[in-house]
Amino acid sequence: MRTWIACVFLTLLNAPFLHAEEVVYYHTDALGSVAVITDANRNVIERTRYAPYGGTINRPLHDGPGYTGHETDANTGFVYMQQRYYDPMLGRFLSADPSAPDAANTGGNFNRYWYANNNPYRNIDPDGRDCRTSKGMTTCDIMVTGSHIPKKISFPTPRGGLPALLKSSAINEHNYVRSTPHNKSDSAVQQAMINDPTPGPNDKPATPFGTYNDASPGGGRGLLAEVSAAIFGDDPKSPVMSYSIKDSSGNKWELNVTMPGHGLHFGYVLRGSVDHKAMSIGEGWAWKQMDIVPGAEYVDDVWNAQNQQNIDEAH
């Protein structure tokens, strides 16, 4: 058994989706900005100095994590902060803040375009999309906006608990959306997602109070889950709780929440179909799924196949 696991692990390490030509380490400052990059031998590859509002002043721009840990777009010079693009040269966002001003109390956030209340030395912009836990319930702001997409979801906190606040600005936070267009009715695809909520071949339908499911997929991703379980002590069944939800517009949604033991705990995936698009919207704080980790996108792409499978199942 150990020999088999070792062989699988070596095979996966040589697979294209996990192959990395160079191992590098990102070192951040107090604001989470990438200040130094080193190689595996502790040699400094790059140092970055930032202007107060995030402009890079000692090197050319390149794509990747930068100011406050967010992604830099070298072509435009903008910083992608999940919900909005930010211009570090102007110190302003390019669109209005989705979080409303606190007019009743402090008047905070009155300027909908400024960055960090005009105090970039002490503050960062968390973009208002966080997960908060209190009294056995966890509420998360959805990282993708749209007229038919819920703004928030609430669900019972997984056993073992969660931190009171999981910030979307954390360096280990990741989020993604996988969208698949179709020409079937949205309601039929919504029901198919509830009936077949996870990539696991033997999963059971989602329910309002939650269904405990084995979400581990088949194929290479399933082998990856087994290897992770052998190395890190994860549960190879990738346990999730699958909930069915109906929003105020009558649309049905399916929500998968990782349980303790899942190799990517904590995270969630909200799934539904609106405007003839099957959508899987994911967010989590597991380091193994960070964007900079080789193979993370391969793991996220499992939802492309699951979206299409649900579309095919819809009738």
For 62-81, the DSSP string reads -SEE-GGGPEE-TTT--EEE
CA dihedral 250, 256, 257, 258 (to 10 degrees): 180
Spell out the domain ranges in the chain: 18-128, 176-313
The residues facing 244 across adjacent strands are 254
Q: Taking the CA atoms of the chain, what radius of gyration do you get in angstroms?
A: 21
Q: Is the pLDDT of residue 139 over 80?
A: yes
Which amino acid does the sequence have at 113? Y
DSSP class of 204 = -
Using one digit for the tens of pLDDT, what is the confidence trace for 120-130? Answer: 876 666 555 68
Q: What is the pTM of this model?
A: 0.64
Which pLDDT tens digit goes with each residue over 254-300?
A: 999 999 999 999 999 999 999 999 999 999 999 988 878 888 888 89
User: How do residues 9-67 score in pLDDT, each as one tens digit?
Assistant: 344 444 444 445 678 888 988 787 899 999 988 999 999 999 999 999 999 999 988 99
Cα-based distances in Å from 144 to 184, 203, 209, 287, 289? 23, 26, 24, 21, 18
Per-state percent for the chain, helix, strand, coil, to nearest 5: 20, 30, 50
